[in-house]
Structure formats: C-alpha cells, structure tokens
Structure 1
C-alpha cells in the first residue's frame, strides 16, 4: 500500500543525513544501529508509541549511500513509521496487538496469527540478522549505543555476529545532535517561548498568593494548552514538564502539593515544552513581595555569575571556560562555597538534560548551531529554590537568547 506524506510530516525537523554519513566515515564506521528513542528519532523522524518496549525499536543507517536505510518497529506503528521516516525498508516485530487489513476483513480472508504476550526479542534478532546480511555488513564496523541496548540482546548480537566489530557510537550521536538544523532551531525557539508563556500567565498575569503548588502547576499546563488551541504557530506540542516549589521546601515534586504561596516566599519554577520532539528547558525565580536580605544575597550572586557567563557565550569559547567563569564569579559575590556539577547542557530531542555539558572538564568549544541551556540554580532549605535558566542558540558571531523574560529575581 502506497502511503503519502502530509504537508505536516514534510515540515518536521529532520537530521542532516549527509552530515551523519560524514561523521561515520570520519570514525571508520560502515553503519550505525541506534536503539535509543532519541537517536532513532533523530535519524528517522519517528518516535515509538511505547518507548518502554526496549529492544525492538531501532534503525540501520549505512555510510555507503547506495545501501538504503532500514527501520525496525512494532507492527502496530508501521503505518506512521513509513510516513515519517520516508524509509522504503521498514520491518516489523509482531506485538500482542491484533491487526488486519480492511480488504481481508471484507473478503473474510483474515487468518489466525499467534501473538506473544508483548514481543519476542528472538524475532528482533532474526530481523537484524537478515538486515545485516542484506546490506553486506559482515566483517564491518557498526556503531551502536552499548548502554541503551538490553544486555540480553547485545550479548545475542555479539554472539551471532562474531565477525562484526560493534563500536560504541554514543559520543558520535551526541556530537551530531549538538549541532541543530534550522528546523530544529526554530522548533526549540518556539518551545522556549511557549514554556515562557506559561510562566508569565501564572506569575505575572495573575497573583499566585494563596494558590497551592498543585494549583499553579495545573494553571501552567492549562495556559500552555490554551495557547496551543488558539495559535496555529504552536502546533506540534507533544509534552510539557513543570516543577514548582514555594517557601522553604525545595526540589521538584510531581505528586500532590498543597503548600500555598505566602507573602515573602521565594518561588522556583523549572519548566519545558516539547514541540515536534524538541524540548526547551528554562527556569525562573520570583519573590512574593519584597525579598529579604538572604534572598537578595543569593539572587545578586547568581546574577553576577550570569553576567560573567553571558560575556563568554560565543563561538570558540570552551564550555569549561564558561563554567569556571560563572562559578568563580558566584563564589566571589557572596556564596563562597557554591559548587555545581555543570552550568548548562544541550537541549534537543526529548525532555531533559543532554550532552554536551557546560562543566569544568569539558573543553570542547561552543559551535554555531548548538542550542544550549545556561543555568545558575541554587537551593536553600528553609528559604527556597532559585533558578535562572536561559535557552540560546550559538550563532556565527555570538548567541541568540530564546527567552524574552529576563532570568533575574522577579518581585510580585
């Protein structure tokens, strides 16, 4: 059956496959075989319906352009996998789901097909065996993410294909995904500004005093949904994340939280929105009323660190240099023992932090096309959480900050 791509599918952000091939050739890889949701989506444009089913969702991409890519998915999502990946070779693993074609149903030609309880890894292995043989990859070097493959499947692969050298390609994918295409940059810009809209709605357009953390979290989510419903420019929303704390209780909590915002509280929010697979990660700090002396002490120190870091955010600066400048400045301006593991990270496919990290041991430079988060958090039990987190893209001569609301202490 011929499947047509819709205009929406054609507009989805996609990886630069020629750049992927160049990176593979530079590392002497004949193919890559990713299993992680993020890296398979990066190559194919399609995300699995059930990412918890580890070991059936993977893609094969060859350095030789004459060898076509292939996609392995559960049969329940074959239709959309073909459309979104535009791969001709999509092979399916039988799941527990019962499916038939309309023509067979109308003509009473349906047949009994035995189903597993969930899926069979042996079938996945058999499909991979056929794929690797079809592409002539015996005796070649194939990159995969060792930590992302179920140990039983990895052992089976290495036991079956003793003549193939399986190489860990985790860092290859990190480096590839760190540089975004223009479509990815635009999706992340929209995701940042949509996440920020929710922050404005609950803290600047309304008074949060008296509302519980659970109420504020719900109002944030409703603000995002309302914006998506009324603005076609925000289509593509897939997911959102919001953590809020108020007063002396710090740290994220996603279960019910009936603590209300009171006068004098420090309010912390860390949030993100995922559009077309790409997710923002921003954060702000608010004071309900005039801030006290310790609140100002912390906020002023973090603001100084922010300025020191922003002055270095440009192409060619090492991430370690940004980290040391930010942390050293915060220590000099009132928080002498302040210590973080990192002051930022890449943002991209999927909600959450991802490599590379802005940390002391990372001397790789910032490069044009990288979309990063720059963050300066501090959590003080008994006072509150503080967060200043911006998303930005590195340009040819500097950066473009996606946030339009300044990441400083805001007084409500």
Structure 2
C-alpha cells in the first residue's frame, strides 16, 4: 500500500512553484508506490528507480523500475503507468513449459517485447534508460517545460549533470525537503505498523529486564531480546530487529558480564514491513547508587519538559532547547546533545529526518511519529536512555509505549 498523500503533495508543491516531484531514493520509492524498489537500489545510486509525482493530483504518477521487479510492482501498487529498465539479472517468464522439451522452448523469449534492446544487459543498471522514460512521461503530461523538484539527497554530485541534461529543457530544483516532509507525515497504516513494532519491542524489553542478574553477559541479554521478539512477532509482518544493549560501566564495551550496581541500557527496535520502532529503557543490577539515580532523574526532568511541548505547531528547535535546559538545570550543567529524537520510517537506519535539534527549522505537525529520547553515556558509569515513540495528534503527543520510565532495579 502506498502512503504518499497526493493532496498534501499538491499543497507543498504549489507552495514551492513545482509542477511535479521526482523521487529517486529506495525508501521514497516504497513510500510512494507501496512496493519494493528491488535489488538495483542496493548501491544507493540515482537512476535505479524513479517515481514522478505531478502536482496535479488528477494526473497519474509514473514509475520506472527494473524489469525483474515490475511484476511485483503491478501486483502491489495502485500505480498503473509502469515503465521498465533492464538490470543485470537474466530472467524471463514462460507459460506452461514443456519440461521434457529441449532448449528451443526458450528461443522465442530472447526477442520478446519486454527484453532489452539487442538483448544486452548492463553491468548493474543504466540510469540513461530511466531518464529516457522520465523524459517521455514529462512530455506526455505536458511538463517538459515545467519545474520539477528532485529528491537531490538521492543524487550523487557526479550524477546531477547527467540527470539535468537528460531531462532538459525541464527546470530541475531541489525537492528534497518536500519528499522528506511527505514521508514524515504518516498514514494510518504506517502508524499501525509502527505501533505494532513498539508492542513487540516492549515484550522484548520486558524479557531482557527479567533476565538481568549478576553474572549475565551482554550477549546473553541480546540473545534473549532476539528470541523473544522473534516469537512475539510471529504472525505479524515483522521484517527485522536491532539492539544496542550495553552492560556495565563502559557504554561502548564488548561482551561485559553484569556485576552488582551495573547499569544495563536497552535501546532497541523491531521492523514491520521495513518500518522501525525505537524505544529505550535503563535498568540497574540491584539498587542504584546516588550518582546513577541523580543522572537518571536529570534525564527524566528533560524528558518531561520536552514531551510536554510535542504539540502541532511547536518548532522542533524549541523542544530541543527546553529539553537540554531542563537537564542542565537538574545538575548536568555541561550536558550537550545534538538531537533528542527523530522521525521513523523505512530508511537505511533507525533515524530519519526531521530531527529534534537546536538548528531544526521544522515545526511539529499532526500525523508525525517521533522517537523522543534523553540519553547519556559516561564511561566509568555506563549508558542511560529514556526513549518513547510518540504519535503526534491534533490534541498533542500520545506515547506508543507502556513500560515505566523509571530506573528499574533488577
């Protein structure tokens, strides 16, 4: 299912004077089409796939995808204007083959209508073929002389000239911010996936908490996490999981063995159809010492101050300012962190734009899902984190998490 909101896209493009948006990243492709972009995107080079989204929502989108994944796109996406680009993989389809026949049964396929011209396949993929399809689509939509916003964050510096030349006389402008904003606004289906991911992750966090004891190794806790979420995620569209679990005084240490008084930081996530959750809690082996308790209390003060500001219309920079000021005011006077959270989605990592940072020029909008966090890492004491996954509604923030934020003694 595609999640790109055409009405919102129209509003954003009209505000920027754009006639269309050209999406080139793998995650942007999945968001706009509801289908997998295919293996040719593994190198994250421009031209492997493309989605052309006209500003006019009554004009259909155009998709360019590799011939190997075109059938899947036709099955999974609402988009019907699909154009194919050959990749390196030799693949074909034969209906009702005679398995007792000889190789001549394949002969007619070499010259089939969907084979590469001259039956020659590229080393990986050929961006020029993708750009040719886009040039044709722009002409058919009457946009060859138009202004197209391009997801330039997905274009290498040495690739922009070829793209510009191929689509001339179309005027290309940077549409990265529009593509990012569209992905930051989550559909109900995306929110449901992220909520499901949190539910499974919290089952895993609880299992890790229950397994904490003197003598347990970091690798043991990681194994408990992995096994638990695999079981809890059975029957759901779970596509992966990740963990940053640390044990003991070194937040960046290896396979540490838990000793009395050690901190255990659990920063983890599960993926549902590629959408990742991100949650964090901190535990202590036995009762916390005064320094540990006061550090956690400072983080909790900052968490509450920032969380209360997660309302539509609030600048993300203001959330950062309030969070950091509250933490510093509770005794961590020199505390400094570049961001206190981020959006979530289907990117190559667990963090997506926009970030809750001092320099952010973005305001919170209803429909966003943000991971909001207040961590600290002190070698000699250990790692600490408080992190919730938060849905932004018209009425303010709603946490998807249920576990206590307390520094829990195990």
TM-score (normalised: structure 1): 0.89
Query: Structure 1, residues 25-67: CA drift from partner, whole Å, max 9, x if none?
Result: 2222111111112222221112323231422111111123443
Deviations for 1:264-283, whole angstroms, at most 9, x for unmatched residues?
A: 21111211112133221111
* Conserved? CA contact 1:104–1:110, under 8 Å: no
Q: Distance in 1 between matches of 2:257 and 2:139?
A: 62
Whether the 8 Å CA contact 2:23–2:179 is kept in 1: the answer is: no
- Asked if the contact 1:213/1:258 (under 8 Å) is kept, the reply is yes
**1:88 aligned onto 2:77:** no
Question: In structure 1, what is the equivalent of residue 101 of structure 2?
Answer: none
1:148 Cα offset (Å): 1.0
Pairwise CA distance, 1:392? 0.9
Asked if structure 1 preserves the Cα contact closer than 8 Å seen for 2:282 and 2:408, the reply is: yes
Q: How far does residue 307 in structure 1 lie from its aligned partner after superposition?
A: 2.0
Asked if 1:192 is matched to 2:193, the reply is no
The equivalent residue for 2:396 is 398
d(CA) in 1 for partners of 2:208, 2:380: 23
**Correspondent of 2:305 among 308, 322, 344:** 308
CA RMSD of aligned residues (A): 2.1
Displacement of 1:285: 0.9
Q: Output one character per residue of 1:61-103: Cα deviation in whole Å (capped at 9) or x when no partner.
A: 1123443211111222111112222211212221121212122
Correspondence for 1:338: 335
Distance in 1 (alpha carbons) for counterparts of 2:15 and 2:9: 10
TM-fit CA distance, 1:159: 2.0
In the TM superposition, 1:95-134 aligns within 5 A as 95-103=87-95, 105-106=97-98, 107-108=105-106, 109-111=108-110, 113-134=119-140
Could you tell me how far 1:379 is from its partner in structure 2?
0.4
In structure 1, how many angstroms separate the alpha carbons of the residues matched to 2:129 and 2:168? Answer: 19
Shift of 1:18: 2.3
Aligned counterpart for 2:220 among listed residues 208, 215, 218: 215
2:29, 2:37 within 8 Å by CA — same for their partners in 1?
no
Residue 212 of structure 1 contacts residue 260 of structure 1 at CA under 8 Å; is this kept in 2? yes
Q: Identify the residue that residue 28 of structure 1 maps to in structure 2.
A: 17
Q: Secondary structure at the residue paired with 1:291?
A: coil
Cα distance in 2 between the residues matched to 1:147 and 1:177: 14
Number of positions where the alignment pairs a residue of Structure 1 with one of Structure 2: 392
- Indicate the residue corresponding to 1:225 in structure 2: 230
For the residues of structure 1 that align with 2:209 and 2:88, how far apart are their CA atoms?
Answer: 47
Q: CA deviation at 1:208?
A: 4.7
Residues 324 and 336, structure 2, Cα contact 8 Å, conserved in 1: yes
5+ residue gaps, structure 1, are 1-11
Distance 1:328 1:399 in 2: 20
Q: How far off is 1:199 after superposition?
A: 0.8
- SS of alignment partner, residue 408 of structure 1: coil
2:164 to 154, 158, 162: 158
What does residue range 276-287 of structure 1 map to in structure 2 within 5 Å? 276-287=273-284
Shift of the 147–270 alpha-carbon distance from structure 1 to 2, 3 Å rule, reads: same
Q: Is the 8 A contact 1:121 1:153 kept in 2?
A: no
In structure 2, distance between residues paired with 1:262 and 1:292: 13
Within 5 Å, which residues of 2 pair with 1:254-333? Answer: 257-333=254-330
Go from structure 1 to structure 2 and tell me whether the alpha carbon gap of 1:70 and 1:13 turns closer, same or farther (over 3 Å shift). Answer: closer
Unaligned runs of 5+ in 2: 99-104, 112-118
Q: Is the 8 Å Cα contact of residues 282 and 389 (structure 1) preserved in structure 2?
A: yes
Residue 239 of structure 1 and its aligned partner are, at CA, apart by 2.1
Q: Please state how far the C-alpha of 1:124 moved relative to its aligned partner.
A: 2.5
> Which whole-Å deviations, capped at 9, do the CAs of 1:270-322 have from their partners, x for residues lacking one?
11112133221111111111112221121111111122223323333332222
Normalising to structure 2: TM-score of the pair?
Answer: 0.89
Number of the residue aligned with 1:3: none
Structure 1: distance between partners of 2:2 and 2:166: 36
Name the SS of the counterpart of 1:76 in structure 2: coil
The range that moved more, 216-225 or 117-126, is 117-126
The equivalent of 2:115 in structure 1 is none
**Mapping for residues 231-250 of structure 1, pairs under 5 Å:** 232=235, 235-250=236-251
Give the 3 Å change call, closer, same or farther, for CA 68–365 of structure 1 in structure 2: closer
Could you say what secondary structure the match of 1:238 adopts? Answer: strand
Stretch deviating more after TM superposition (13-22 or 29-38): 13-22
Query: How far is the alpha carbon of 1:243 from its aligned partner?
Result: 0.9
In 2, Cα distance between equivalents of 1:65 and 1:397: 29
CA contact (8 A) 1:185 1:371 kept: yes
1:135 to 141, 157, 168: 141
